[in-house]
Amino acid sequence: MDYDVMMIGSGHATWHGAVALAQQGKHVAIIEKDLVGGTCTNYGCDAKIALDGPFQLIEQLERFTGAGVDKAPDIHWSDLMTYKHQVIDPLAPTMTTLLNQLGVTMLTGTAKLVDAHTVTVDDHTYTSDYIVLGTGQRPATLDIPGAEYIHDSREFLDLPDMPERLVFIGAGIIAMEFAAMAATMGKTVHIVEFSDKTLAPFNQTYVARLRTKLQAQGVQFHFNEAVNEVVKNEKGITVTTAKGLILDCDYILGATGRVANIEDLGLESLGIQASKRGIVVNDHLQTTVPNIYASGDVIDKPQAKLTPTATFESNYIAQAILGNAAPISYPVIPSVVFTMPRLAEVGVTVTEAQAHPNTYHTQVLPFGKQLAFQYKRTLDAEATLVFDQAGYLVGASLYADDSDDLINLLTLIINGHYTATMLQQQIFAFPSATVGLLDLLSNLLPRN
């Protein structure tokens, strides 16, 4: 065999495991046809968060208007985009260098499975004991007239200037995050959604608060509307829905979901089973061909398709190849919407808890009102916590500036089955958002 392990795709679903295997002396290759690091590093969460800082600061400064701040500054998108490129563009070549230094062979080209141990990369053929598929997802596209005028998240994150009038198709995480940025800059924003909900998996009480806040910033929501045509004309671009809604704009972002990259991999010829959601795997992340694994967003799974999940799976596969026979066991996985304020969820949802009142109970903590000075004048900051019959924390949803950090702490408490005694044996920094929430939480947990 040419390699012990070959990995198709270079995102978080593969490279963590590749490094772990190389450090154990395995001969590992990663195949990538685009930029090393995958979507998150180059076109997704990293690129978006590089743009996020000024919007977070503007939000906080506006909250202190009249309390030491006269006026929040303006955001200059073109300068911010230059900064994003300075931060993000070096990552792919840097990762390539680091992976090579760690003993991972990097191959450039399009990979296709030939048999259980053979992969072609363009005109070259390689063999390997194990193969890992980590090809990720891509934005879904609409099959309508004028679809060529609809942009995706990758293109939005490379915009040289922020358009004046934007239409977002879809009301999920990507649309809400980008719409919030445009609204903060004073742009005209429309969100067109096929269903009657925004951010369907999240606590709808907090989603409604976020939606109300965005509406106050000028964002217009159009529910139960299906876009059926896009036309470029003297007005710019016109979006029309099946019900007759007509919107003129300068830019359209399609954010109607993502689809697994499974075409042209050669899955069918090997009998590897796949669904509309991705590659089917067992509880060891093996495909229907046992020496071929799959990881990350490309697999069909109930768990959230997030970067940390892909990293967890990549590390698991490395250990499986090294001899660990245990099935994968997922901890609870947090999800965050990076608007301002942030929305976050982990574990048992409020909806599930309310549907099973004999199993769970919920507690609302309006910590923004109770601890205003620690929460940067965010009086509406709030948590809804879910407890099981024994009193242990099993789920949480948050609406706060610091939700992205607070949810990680709550995730640790859930996975660690923390009691009040365990929390009270720790000393945390004060004043801080963390300690304020923990003080309230410790009174709700079981003693022992």
**Which is nearest to 171 in space by CA: 254, 265, 49?**
254
Binding residues: 170-177, 193, 257, 297
In sign, the C-alpha dihedral spanning 284, 288, 293, 294 is: negative
Residue 280: closest CA among 271, 309, 412, 118: 271
Task: Give the ranges where 4-152 is alpha helix by DSSP (H).
Answer: 15-23, 38-43, 45-63, 77-88, 91-101
What residues are paired with 260 via a beta bridge?
137
Q: Which two tokens stand for residue 14?
A: 């593969």
Give counts: helices (H), strands (E), the chain.
15, 24
- Residue 120 CA to residue 69 CA, distance in Å, equals 61
Q: Where are the alpha helices (DSSP H) in 365-445?
A: 367-370, 403-415, 420-424, 433-442
Q: Please measure the distance between the N-terminal and C-terminal CA atoms of the chain and give it in whole angstroms.
A: 55
Contact of 220 with 189, CB cutoff 8 Å = yes
Annotation: binding site for FAD: 297
Sign, CA torsion 50/159/155/36: negative
Dihedral (CA of 407, 412, 418, 423) sign: negative
CA 142 to chain centre: 21
Pairing of strands 150-151, 111-115: unpaired
* Region label for 213, one of left (φ > 0), alpha (ψ between -120 and 50) or beta (otherwise): alpha
Task: Extract the annotated binding site for NAD(+).
Answer: 170-177, 193, 257
